[in-house]
Amino acid sequence: MPDTISPGFEKLLSEPAYCQISTLMPDGSPQITQVWVDTDGEHILINTAEGRQKERNVRRDPRVAVNVVDTADAWRIAMVRGRVVDITTEGADDLIDQLAKKYLDVDSYPNRQPDEVRVTLKIAPERVNAIGLD
């Protein structure tokens, strides 16, 4: 049952907020990584590369948890349980550049590897626990 992204949460996702995503390792244990984050208004969007641990994990088990927090205010935060509903290369190269603009204020993602394939994880929130995001 999808939960919605409120206007306040959408605003936080449009800022250079900290975001942590937890995925499940092959043995079912949790893994956590800090990532850049964006939204299309309906999904939480995270950009990664094919073959990374978290990408392999969500292909096996799409269940994730995501934390998004204002770097300057611990009380503007959303803690989310959800599911990766799509893993796509479509628009993924553009998205990593947009994220580099938002987080680093540069026009092009500076750490791109020649042989990597960027993918976007689209996460449908199923339960959003938001604080300070009216």
Q: What is the dihedral of CA 83, 49, 26, 122, to 10 degrees?
A: 0
> φ and ψ at 111, to 5 degrees?
-110, 20
Q: Of the candidates 3, 59, 79, 98, which one interacts with a second copy according to CB under 8 A?
A: 79
The answer to whether the CB of 105 falls within 8 A of the CB of 98 is: no
Contact flag: residue 110 with a second copy (CB under 8 A):
no
Applying CB under 8 A, does 65 fall inside the site for a second copy? yes
80 forms part of the interface with a second copy (CB under 8 A): yes
For tokens 């079912």, what's the residue? 28
Spatial separation of the C-alpha atoms in residues 60 and 54, rounded to whole Å? 10
Q: For residue 105, with 0-12 CB atoms within 10 Å meaning exposed, 13-18 middle and 19 or more buried, which class applies? A: exposed
22 contributes a contact to a second copy by CB under 8 A: yes
Contact pattern for a second copy over residues 1 through 20, marking x by CB under 8 A? -----------------x-x
- Helix residue ranges per DSSP H, 47-109: 53-60, 92-104
| Minimum CB distance to a second copy smaller for 25 or for 87 | 25
71 binds a second copy, rule: CB under 8 A: yes
Nearer to a second copy, 49 or 79 (CB): 79
CB of 3 vs a second copy, minimal distance in Å:
14
Q: Quick one: which of 32, 85, 106, 117 contacts a second copy (CB under 8 A)?
A: 32
